[in-house]
Structure 1
Amino acid sequence: MKTIYNFTIIILCLLYFVCIFLNPHAIIETTKTSILLWAQKIVTSLFPYFLIINVFVNSRIISYVSYIFLPVAKNIFKISSQGFFAFIIGLLSGYPVGIKTVCSLYKENLITKKEATKLLHYVNNSGPLFIIGTVGINFLNSKTQGYILFFAHTLASIIIALFVSVFSKIEWVSYKNYNVNINFDLGNLLSRSVKDSIEAILLIGGFITLFFNLNFVLEYFKIYPLFCNTLHKLLGIDKNFIQGLLYGFFEITSGTILISKSQTLSVFYKLLTCVFIISWGGMSVHFQAISFLKEAELPIKTYLIGKCFHAILSVIILLIIFVVI
């Protein structure tokens, strides 16, 4: 399996390299598009979150701020209030803030490795701004459909969190930090927080650019069209549906745009496909998360399994919503 993975990476790199020579203008334009997206959407929405979270974590103020979540965290989700704080932040702010927060908490010894591993199953989520605003209003032209997508996506994450809590015990050691004395150098605190935030946001921008270009390369060498046409002929699956899933597998924005613009898919199938893509997160998001996980030495497999279950469960919830409605 590892040999196949390595061989695939080598082939993709070679195709990328050849495409740069054959069509440099298109690569430049795709890169420009991804950088503009990163600057206008990602930096403006995520950098403030990263900055304030880094200040909270590095100063240990989070131990006091998160104390208000203790009853719910302890009795329902069986995690520390700091861990529950990371879960809430992940739901409200979007990819990859949740996973970044968990890794920061663990590196600062505010949660244990066991609790951090538990949180990896469900802490990394897409936020309401992207689901309702971008996908619902801008792509699907429906605020209602955006709310439906957000409800299914969020409920799936909460269900996974409750399911994990059934088979886990509370990490009491996680609560030892409530009595930590707040004593820090403000200059060093702000410098470190800004530095960590900039590094994280630049890393995200690099992955977005990489996967935007990768999608173009696969389209340029007719790999996507070949795959879509083959499945269409063999199974009769809609080409737009296959193309949207392929793009969404790598990058959620591209995938949801293609699905929403499809003239052949019904609203029902558009919503099912969009919620699957959003809850899966895309390889671009996963590589961002993996970079944080490797630095914190947390298990990558646990995180990926959680995202697979999240995608499947979101689709099931959306199906139930349509049956009920």
Structure 2
Amino acid sequence: MAHRSPILTFLLALFSVSLVVILATNPETSFQAALRGIQIWWEVVFPATLPFIVLSEILMGFGVVHFVGVLLEPLMRPLFNVPGTGGFVFTMGFSSGYPVAAKITTRLREQNNVSRVEGERLVSLATTSDPLFVIGAVAIGFFHSEQLGLTLAITHYVSALLLGLLFRFHAWTEPPSKSLYKKEVPLLLRALQEMHRARLRDGRPLGRLMGDAVETALHTLFMIGGFIIVFSVVMELLMKVNLTQTLSTVLTVILGPLGFPEDFSKSVVVGLFEVTLGAQAASQVSASISLMWKAAIASAILSWGGLSVHAQVASILSKTDIRVAPYLLARIVHAILAALLTIIAWRPLQLLVHGEKAAVPVFVAPQPTTAVPHHWWHHLSQSSLMALSLFAVLAAGSILVRKTVLKGNR
């Protein structure tokens, strides 16, 4: 492997110099792309993500995460082979989207609440798109179909759960972290005890805790914004020099014999870099292509997430010993599972969503639907509602599992 290092260094340097040259020769294109990246970050990512990161930091300081850890231990450990605190990551990640799960997992690892392997399982499981983006931006905004949003959401999150069940066997020989749960103590009482102990260990007064939470959230969000802007510029420059078209042509040669149309190759290549542009490209595939195949590609792109998101996650995880390679493998598996699940469950999901109307041809273009509002308070309220609903389901499931186990031991 050592003899490859100079070659890799040379290629990276060549790529960087090439980008600088293209940037210098296309200043207007780069400027407009940067403005679009800033707009996306400021109007969507910043207001939607800031409250969740601040809240997660405050909840950790108050010991609420330890309360959740004890409460959800009977469910999370047997299902996903992670401690109960993983339920907090699961809830926040599913409801607020990437890369919030990576940020919370990093904090848990820094506090030694999860092992390295458990952190890798958690990041792989909980790094998903948020439901408002799946339904609002992709389904309604790009495909003009609210019903398709339900299909995409179901396949996206169910495939994430399947991925979590698969990744419970990731490095399964590694010893688990210490459990906070004790069978001989009532579940709620034990959860309250751990919450109090965690709060005493933290020891920060409320003012300092809130200040630290805001400072950490802003630092993380500025990092995310930087990646969004950089990848927005890079993506635009790659399109400018027709590199994406070249990669699309190569992919068409590979996938063409398997029956994939050229338009699919273009959307896959664009989605490789950026999830929003990739999903939009999938919606613009030729009208002669079945809506099922368009939805499958869009679902795969949503589950993959794009190199921009992966760079954000890698930067966040770099503060710990959690490896990025398992996360990248998980994203590939998630994309494949989501696409396959969309194809396999297409007919049942159409019957579920449309009822008898599902008999209409799948080639018929969806009728335009009014897009959901993109105000930050709407995004925040919907994400908060989903987080509370997920926690309620997990808590109920955990209590049910514990009662079943206790009854079986009698």
Alignment of 1:195 onto 2:219: no
Moved more, 263-272 or 3-12: 3-12
Q: Which residue of 2 is the match for residue 243 of structure 1? A: 266
Query: After superposition, what is the alpha-carbon deviation per residue over 1:48-84, rounded to whole angstroms, capped at 9, x for unaligned?
Result: 1111011122443311244432332234333222112
The aligned counterpart of 2:156 is: 153
Gaps of 5+ in 1: none
Deviation at 1:187, TM superposition (A): 2.1
Map of 2:234 onto structure 1: 214
Normalised by the size of structure 2, how large is the TM-score? 0.73
**Letter in structure 2 aligned against 1:184:** R
Residue 53 (structure 1) aligned to one of 49, 53, 56: 56
Does the CA contact (< 8 Å) of 2:282 and 2:294 recur in 1?
Answer: yes
CA contact (8 A) 1:111 1:174 kept: no
**Structure 2 counterpart of 1:302:** 326
**Structure-1 separation of matches of 2:245 and 2:13:** 21
2: CA distance between counterparts of 1:286 and 1:4? Answer: 24
User: Who is 1:292 aligned against?
Assistant: 316
Q: Which residue pairs with 1:114 in the alignment? A: 117
Q: Share of identical aligned residues, percent?
A: 24
**TM-score, structure 1 normalization:** 0.91
Pick aligned residue for 1:171 from 130, 153, 176: 176
- Where relative contact order (Cα < 8 A, 6+ residues apart) is larger, the structure is 2
Query: Please, which moves more after superposition, 240-249 or 31-40?
Result: 240-249
**Deviations, residues 216-251 of structure 1 (Å, cap 9, x unaligned):** 111111212233345557737533322211111011
Distance in structure 1 (CA, Å) of the matches to 2:225 and 2:10 = 26
1:323 positional shift: 5.1
Q: Aligned partners of 1:196, 1:246: CA distance in 2, in Å?
A: 34
Letter in 1 for 2:264: F
Could you say which residue in structure 2 is the equivalent of 1:63? 66
TM-fit CA distance, 1:178: 4.9
Q: How far did residue 172 of structure 1 move?
A: 5.4
Larger Cα-atom Rg: 2
Q: Determine the structure 2 residue equivalent to 1:275.
A: 299
Q: Number of residues paired by the alignment?
A: 325
- Stretch deviating more after TM superposition (14-23 or 144-153): 14-23
In 2, Cα distance between equivalents of 1:243 and 1:9:
24
Query: Secondary structure of the equivalent of 2:112?
Result: coil
Q: Mark the CA change 1:84 to 1:233 in structure 2 (over 3 Å): closer, same or farther.
A: closer
* Paired residue type of 1:180: R
More helix by share: 1
Please report how far the alpha carbon of residue 263 of structure 1 lies from its aligned counterpart in structure 2 after TM superposition.
3.4
* Amino acid aligned to 1:260: S
The separation in 1 between residues aligned to 2:116 and 2:242, in whole angstroms, is 44
CA distance in 2: counterparts of 1:165 and 1:227, whole angstroms: 35
Say whether residues 1:94 and 2:114 are aligned partners.
Answer: no
Aligned to 2:276: 253
